């Protein structure tokens, strides 16, 4: 009986212990997108659609500020800043063109001699 007791109290000789090494994962934080470039793009789109002239000026100013800041800090967003600049300049161009056409239209209307139109 002592032999059985000694055999049963032994740990199992066939059990293996394995060590598994964990894979090393390097986490690289995503580069931050410049906030001014996002503002420039949104203002440029708004300048072509909702608020024509004023928003285009905001797009041009913030686009230039964003490009300067991106060069200084190395952030992402240069493409959005350039797109904001392009849409801003297009919006300003359309605004100037509309202003010139309105001035020309009213100049023609006033010069056409409407003074005799309301004669009673």
Q: What is the pLDDT of residues 71-81, one digit of tens each?
A: 999 999 999 99
Phi, psi of 61 (to 5 degrees): -65, -50
Nearest to 103 by CA among 113, 115, 95: 95
| Distance (Å, whole) CA 16 – CA 104 | 94
Summarised one tens digit per residue, pLDDT across range 16-68 is: 777 777 788 888 788 899 999 999 999 999 999 999 899 999 999 999 999 99
Burial class (CB in 10 A: 0-12, 13-18, 19+), 73: exposed
- At how many degrees (to 10) do helices 78-111 and 35-49 cross? 30
**Which structure tokens are listed for 35?**
């906030």
Our CA dihedral for 64, 79, 40, 46, rounded to 10 degrees, sits at: 140
The whole model's pTM is what? Answer: 0.70
Predicted confidence at residue 55, as pLDDT, reads 97
Domain ranges of the chain: 33-111
Assess contact for 71 and 60: CB atoms under 8 A. no
């Amino acid at each position: 009986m002592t032999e059985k007791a000694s055999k049963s109290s032994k740990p199992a000789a066939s059990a293996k212990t394995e060590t598994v090494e964990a894979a090393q994962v390097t986490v690289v934080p995503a580069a931050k997108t410049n906030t001014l470039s996002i503002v420039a793009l949104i203002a440029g789109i708004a300048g072509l659609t909702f608020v024509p002239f004023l928003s285009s000026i905001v797009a041009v100013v913030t686009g230039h500020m964003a490009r300067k800041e991106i060069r200084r800090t190395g952030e992402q967003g240069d493409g959005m800043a350039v797109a904001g600049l392009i849409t801003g300049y297009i919006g300003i161009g359309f605004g100037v063109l509309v202003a010139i056409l309105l001035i020309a239209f009213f100049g023609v209307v006033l010069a056409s001699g409407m003074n005799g139109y309301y004669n009673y």
